[in-house]
A = this chain, B = another copy of it.
Amino acid sequence: MAQVRNKQVFLKNYVTGFPKESDMEIVEGSITLKVPEGSSDVVLLKNLYLSCDPFMRILMTEDTPANLGLLYSPGSSTVRNNSGPVTQRPPLYGTLLSLLLVKILLLGLLLPLLGFGVSKVIESGHENYKKGMPGMTAYGGFFEVGCPKKGERVFVSAASGAVGQLVGQFAKLTDCYVVGSAGSQEKVDILKNKLGFDEAFNYKEESDLDAALKRYFPEGIDIYFENVGGKTLDAVLLNMRSNGRIPLCGMISQYNLTQQEGVTNLTHLIYKEIRMEGFVVFKFYHLYPKFLEFVLPHIREGKIAYVEDIVEGLESGPEALIGLFSGQNFGKKIVAISRE
């Protein structure tokens, strides 16, 4: 049986505050290129691209507020996040996914980092585990949790990020008015000129977020797609319309804080009868066929653009991941492992 080299990014220490490269370690091991005999639920994959996502930070915290078990409930997995071939149990909702859920294996304090990726199926014991594509987070969060109606007013924070850029475009395809916030003028320009947002602004240049939102939403916000949390959420609450919806996708501004910012305007949720709902993408996996039906025609017609920010080699992974938290990425941050 062929043994191959298998590099992995491990977490050496639980992280407090912003993660540092020295919190991570690249370890080289080996793996056997063979699915065990009679394993109908095991797939052998070669990771081609690995994704850097803000939620990975949450899992680096000791006593993380997330019960890790919950994250896996819809689709348990035994893969390790590495550059070589691995074995994987398909999610219970396994459809056409290649968004890999990689489980943290507790090896003392050495934890391989949990993350998504795109992989090539080398050998499979499971017929559903063949191919896939990203975007489910934006799709499920916007359509299933946000429940948009034509003409509604949509605000997206971290709008040039991996999820935000798609939410904005999905909103335009639904005939909504959409405004995004981002952290640089360059990002703002691309949101307006390339990704079709009606308006965009640089939150770092707004001393009064409430005033900025009132400028772009004089009649208020129907849907706030939440990626950042903290002060932004507080300002948004002041500007929500009655019966608004707030899909909670992430709160990246809070992940590295040892003391989280308090959100003080929650009473607005009551009078305005607002629904604020958290979700994790696994919830939407059963919608994958519906997602493809929606998104593929638009991709074919060139109506959906997608901005990626790719770095080369597993060794670049720690730096790429850390850069997320200071907004250094534009769009989806990806580590290319193998361009075959």
Q: What is the CA–CA distance of A261 and B270 in the complex, to the nearest angstrom?
A: 16
Q: Copy number of this protein in the oligomer? A: 2
Query: A66 near B275 (CB under 8 angstroms)?
Result: no
> Chain A binding site: helix, strand, loop or mixed by DSSP?
loop
Task: Name A's B-contacting residues (CB within 8 A).
Answer: 58, 65-67, 70-71, 73, 229, 233, 238, 242, 248-251, 254-255, 259-280, 283
What chain B residues lie within 8 Å of A255 (beta carbons)? Answer: 267
What chain B residues lie within 8 Å of A259 (beta carbons)? Answer: 264
Q: What is the CA–CA distance of A250 and B273 in the complex, to the nearest angstrom?
A: 11
What chain B residues lie within 8 Å of A242 (beta carbons)? Answer: 67, 70, 73
What chain B residues lie within 8 Å of A279 (beta carbons)? Answer: 270, 273
Q: List 22 A-B contacts (CB under 8 A).
A: A58-B271, A66-B271, A67-B271, A229-B267, A248-B266, A248-B269, A250-B270, A251-B270, A254-B267, A259-B264, A260-B267, A261-B262, A261-B264, A262-B264, A263-B266, A271-B280, A273-B277, A273-B278, A274-B277, A275-B277, A276-B277, A277-B277
What chain B residues lie within 8 Å of A280 (beta carbons)? Answer: 270-271, 273
Give me 10 other A-B pairs in contact (C-beta within 8 A), A274-B277, A274-B278, A276-B276 excluded: A70-B271, A248-B269, A254-B267, A260-B266, A263-B264, A263-B266, A269-B278, A272-B278, A275-B276, A275-B278
What chain B residues lie within 8 Å of A248 (beta carbons)? Answer: 266, 269-270
What chain B residues lie within 8 Å of A271 (beta carbons)? Answer: 58, 65-67, 70-71, 278, 280
Query: B67 near A267 (CB under 8 angstroms)?
Result: no
Q: What is the CA–CA distance of A271 and B61 in the complex, to the nearest angstrom?
A: 14
Q: What is the CA–CA distance of A21 and B279 in the complex, to the nearest angstrom?
A: 46
What chain B residues lie within 8 Å of A276 (beta carbons)? Answer: 269, 275-277
